[in-house]
Every structure is written in structure tokens, then in C-alpha cells.
Amino acid sequence: MSSISIVGLGNMARALAGRALAGGNAVEIIGRDPAKAKELADALDGATVGAAGATPAGDIVVLAVPYAGAAAVVSEYGDALRGKIIIDITNPVAPGLQGFVVPDDSSGAQEIAKAAPADAQVVKAFNTLFSHVLAAGPAEGRPLDVFIAGDDAQAKARVSAFIESLGLRPMDTGELPMARALENLALVQLGLVAHSVKHTDFYVGVSVLG
């Protein structure tokens, strides 16, 4: 099993931590508000609390914070993230759902990678799952698909093993520039919520025919 540090205290942090603990992983919760971090860890039963800015205990560090602050968080940790696998779950969507707040030739994950130490490996994952869908787990008898992208094969293998421990199915989409496509997929989902589906009780997955 994996050792995971989750930076953030929101709905995605709670959903990921709950599934990770159920899958037998060690989970550390890190937030700027120590009291809220302890409250979340206590509610999850089995998670530990880390100090913001200190070296995360986990080999895998999940950035469960809004994209607007993600690169800054990575920069603040600096060398404390050396050798870590960083999972970016963010979506750098612009207000009005008309595009992104990153350069046209980049992605949120690539911008986060620029802020990370050279020997840290960034893997995009979980950005196409709504928190309550993730928390609920398998749907209609099949595991949810988690699309991933990253440049390091070993890092993706470790993230894939972590995803499988959650009862989910990892789907490798290629190298880190594919994160742009995954962020576009999340934008499509938000468009569906706004214009046709009208709720968030759905997920996007792959059905292999034949």
C-alpha cells in the first residue's frame, strides 16, 4: 500500500482520504489551519496530521487545493518535495467556463511541474471526478475510471497502484502534456452540468467493446 500526504481540507481531500484509508493506505492530512486539519483527520479515523510547510510524510503528495494556489503551495514546500510524486487534481478553468487561466501551450499540471523540484514527478489524476462521485466509489457494478498523465513511467505505475487500492481503474493517457486534454475533459463536464445534465451525479469513463 502507499503512503499519501493530502494537502488541502476540502471535499476532494475528504473523499480521497476516505477511500485511501479504506484501501489500506497511510494518510496524512495537511492544511494551513491546524485545527481544521485535525478535525478532518479525526473524522476520518486513521489519518494523521502534518504541519503545513514541513516535509510531507507521504511518498505521494496530493494537491487537493484550488488551482489558483497550487503552484504557490508547491513553491512554498520547495525542496521538501524532492523525490516525491505529486498528484495534481486541479482544473485551471477560467471564470465563465470559457477556457483556462494557463498559457495556450500548457496545462495546470505543467505549470505546477515548473514550480516543483527537478526530481519530483507530477502526475495528473482525479480531475475528472466530482468529489461525491469519488467518495461513493464504483457505479453500477463497475469501477470509476481515473485518467492519468505523466512523464515518468515509474511514477505513473505507483499512482496506478494507489488508484487500484481505492477500488478505481487507472487509465493512462500518455505524457504530462496530455494533462491539457484531461483539463479540457473536465471543462466539458462543467459544460454538461451548466447546459444539459444539470447536476453532478455522473462521471466520464471508458467502455471497451469486444
Closest CA to 137 of 19, 17, 8: 19
Q: What is the pLDDT of residues 25-64, one digit of tens each?
A: 999 999 999 999 999 999 998 999 999 889 999 999 999 9
Q: How far apart are CA 135 and CA 117, in angstroms?
A: 31
Three-state secondary structure call for residue 120: coil
Please give the Cα distance from 14 to 29 (Å, whole number).
9
Interacting residues of 25 by C-beta distance below 8 A, sequence separation 6+: 1, 2, 3, 4, 162, 165
How much is the mean pLDDT over the chain?
95
128 with 185: CB under 8 angstroms? yes
Percent of the chain at pLDDT exceeding 90: 92
Contact between 121 and 151 (Cβ < 8 Å): yes
Global pTM value: 0.96
pLDDT beyond 90 at 110: yes
